[in-house]
Amino acid sequence: MRSPVTHKSKNSLLLQFNYWEWTGVTLIGFLCSWVWVEIGELPDLNILQAMIGATMIGFFQALSLSRFLANAWLWILSTFISWSLMAGTSLGVVGWFAPRTELIMVRLITGLTLGSIAGIWVGFWQWLILKSELLQSYLWILFSSISWSLGLSIGWIVGGILRSITHLFLGEVIGLIVVWVLVGMQTGIALSYLLQKSGRTLGERH
């Protein structure tokens, strides 16, 4: 039988993955991408910009994951591939552009739809890294889809409301920040859950 001290110590280690930290590094990666990636209204970012933006976000997220996953650097590669390939489709790089319309219902429905698709796509590529590391890693694809669906729709609605009030594109920029904060928070909670289900702690990387 495990002693209470040992059990408490393990729980303490499990809690060292902090979804607030994950949210923060995700947002930092997005903000740093602004140096090279231009935020606009059309889903027409070129592939080079998508590559740079994905690399920035993947890099900062991998720093957070490196304490728990043995091959955390592969997270950068999976994020890079998923966003780069998506940039070459009609979907575009949804995390960096705002819709033209200010109609709330259109933003809601479009955000839910495109966010769900983007989340599944990005989640699939990231799952390829998680599947050898975490139990029930297949849930990551579902979590990613839900996170992007809710995050994108809410962020686009916030951006549309702020733009209609201020008549400034800055409102859309704030909306996209909301997108990444919500996505970071939700995926961070999901990762925390998967890490705990797998009993993954600091010093237990394989």
Read out DSSP for 13-33? HHTTS-HHHHHHHHHHHHHHH
Domain annotation covers residue 44:
yes
d(CA 201, CA 73): 18
Determine what percent of the chain is predicted with pLDDT higher than 90. 62
Domain annotation covers residue 205:
no
Backbone angles phi, psi at 125, to 5 degrees: -65, -35
Domain annotation covers residue 184:
yes
Domain annotation covers residue 206:
no
Does pLDDT of 201 surpass 80?
Answer: no
d(CA 113, CA 31): 25
Contact predicate 193/130, CB 8 Å: no
d(CA 101, CA 190): 32
Q: For 203, left (φ over 0), alpha (ψ -120 to 50), or beta?
A: left
Domain count within the chain: 1
Determine what percent of the chain is predicted with pLDDT higher than 70. 86
Domain annotation covers residue 204:
no
Domain span at residue 144 reads 4-197
List pLDDT tens digits, range 29-61.
Answer: 999 999 888 777 665 567 888 899 999 999 999
Domain annotation covers residue 202:
no
The predicted model scores a pTM of 0.87
